[in-house]
């Protein structure tokens, strides 16, 4: 079975969207889950020309409240800068509740699972389900996440979960693998440009324990 190239799927969709915009059609609304400002930097820059985006900060996996608040503040600061610079359509922001207990309940029994395995998949599903639910409530056209920009995240699994949730909530899933086309490299460049705080772990206590380091900016360019 051939692996789906989600970046090519997104390219096709954006080409059609560009044609619609050129005909004067309204830009569709995208409810975009954002894990942090560095990951969001490239994705927002890339997509705000095609969509009216609401950046949704919902990350109950972050174990320390100060870390959670710091990442939320950095995302807001980045979006304010982008809107001042008028990179595309204005970007709005929505913040979910900080619910670390929901994350712990979702991954119960998987505490010793290696980083990048089933525990992470449960975390993806938790955050994407809340994103899909909020997108349906707000009558958005699409929902998506910035998670796939990280070379440490499983883009195939992220898309699989998103596609499964789409019919359940009645909102289209935007296919993506944002690390492609030098996306991860660009996020590193934008982080430097805007002086963004770049954490070196996912956010949960388990990722701190694993101590996985992000690879160099040249990774994930194909």
Q: What is the pLDDT of residue 109?
A: 84
pLDDT at 217 over 80: no
Confidence of residue 222 (pLDDT cuts 50, 70, 90): very low
- Would you state the pLDDT for residue 208? 64
Taking only the tens place, the pLDDT of each residue in 150-198 is: 998 999 999 999 999 999 999 999 999 999 999 999 999 999 999 999 8
Is the pTM higher than 0.85? The answer reads yes
pLDDT at 17 over 70: yes
| pLDDT at residue 220, rounded to an integer | 42
Among 77, 82, 68, 85, smallest CA distance to 37 is for 77
Phi-psi group of 50: left, alpha or beta (phi > 0 → left; psi -120 to 50 → alpha; rest → beta): alpha
SS3 163: helix
Task: Tally the C-alpha atoms within 13 A of residue 94's C-alpha that lie toward its C-beta.
Answer: 14
């Amino acid at each position: 079975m051939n692996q789906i190239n989600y970046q090519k799927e997104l390219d096709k969709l954006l080409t059609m969207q560009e044609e619609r915009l050129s005909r004067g059609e309204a830009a569709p609304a995208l409810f975009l889950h954002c894990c942090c400002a560095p990951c969001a930097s490239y994705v927002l820059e890339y997509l705000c020309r095609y969509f009216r985006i609401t950046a949704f900060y919902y990350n109950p996996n972050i174990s320390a409240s100060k870390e959670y608040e710091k990442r939320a503040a950095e995302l807001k600061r980045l979006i304010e800068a982008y809107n001042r610079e008028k990179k595309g359509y204005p970007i709005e922001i929505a913040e979910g509740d900080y619910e670390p207990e929901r994350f712990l309940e979702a991954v119960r029994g998987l505490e010793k699972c290696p980083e990048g395995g089933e525990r992470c998949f449960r975390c993806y599903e938790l955050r994407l389900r809340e994103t899909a639910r909020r997108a349906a409530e707000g009558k958005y056209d699409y929902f998506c996440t910035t998670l796939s920009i990280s070379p440490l995240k499983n883009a195939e699994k992220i898309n699989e979960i998103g596609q499964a949730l789409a019919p359940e909530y009645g909102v289209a899933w935007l296919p993506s693998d944002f690390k492609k086309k030098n996306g991860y490299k660009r996020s590193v460049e934008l982080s430097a440009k805007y002086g963004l705080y770049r954490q070196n772990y996912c956010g949960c206590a388990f990722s701190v324990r694993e101590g996985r380091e992000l690879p160099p900016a040249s990774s994930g360019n194909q």
